[in-house]
Amino acid sequence: MLDSKSRKMLIYLQKYEIPEDDYDEITFDDFYEKYTEYAGISESIAQAQVRYLEKLGYIRYCATPTGFLYGFSLELKAYSRVEFAHIELVKFLFKSIIVPIFVAAVTSLVCMWLNGVFK
């Protein structure tokens, strides 16, 4: 689930001008410089937000062959965040409402059968 600051960062990233020769990759230095000024936050908070978005699968880190992280790119989940939020809501409702109701109904029927109600 996204908090308001992460959602604000994703909206900014979707509007971010990415040069065509960079293969849709955003460098950390360039992004932090522009975003901290835009959002009025410190660079450490912006870094924490980027780590959080990476953990949730909205962005993917870009690295050199030696393993040095130099930036990130947006994943499909970042471009379709409303659709993915809808999918997560449906999963939550299914797990927390539909499944417990079904289990309760089956349990009640089994108890009634064991007590001999269905003779």
What's the confidence (pLDDT) of residue 56?
Answer: 92
Q: What is the pTM of this model?
A: 0.71
Cα–Cα nearest to 52, from 1, 86, 18, 11: 1
CA–CA gap between residue 107 and residue 12 (Å, rounded) = 50
Q: How high does pLDDT run on average in the chain?
A: 86
Q: How far apart are the first and last CA of the chain?
A: 49
- In this predicted model, what pLDDT tens digit does every residue of 26-70 receive, in sequence order? 889 889 999 999 999 999 999 999 999 999 999 999 998 998 999
Domains present along the chain, CATH in parentheses:
4-79 (1.10.10)
84 vs 100 pLDDT, higher one: 100
Residue with tokens 């009025």, as numbered in its chain: 40
Computed over its alpha carbons, how large is the radius of gyration of the chain? 23
The number of angstroms, rounded, from the C-alpha of 36 to the middle of its chain's C-alpha atoms is: 21
pLDDT surpassing 80 at residue 108: yes
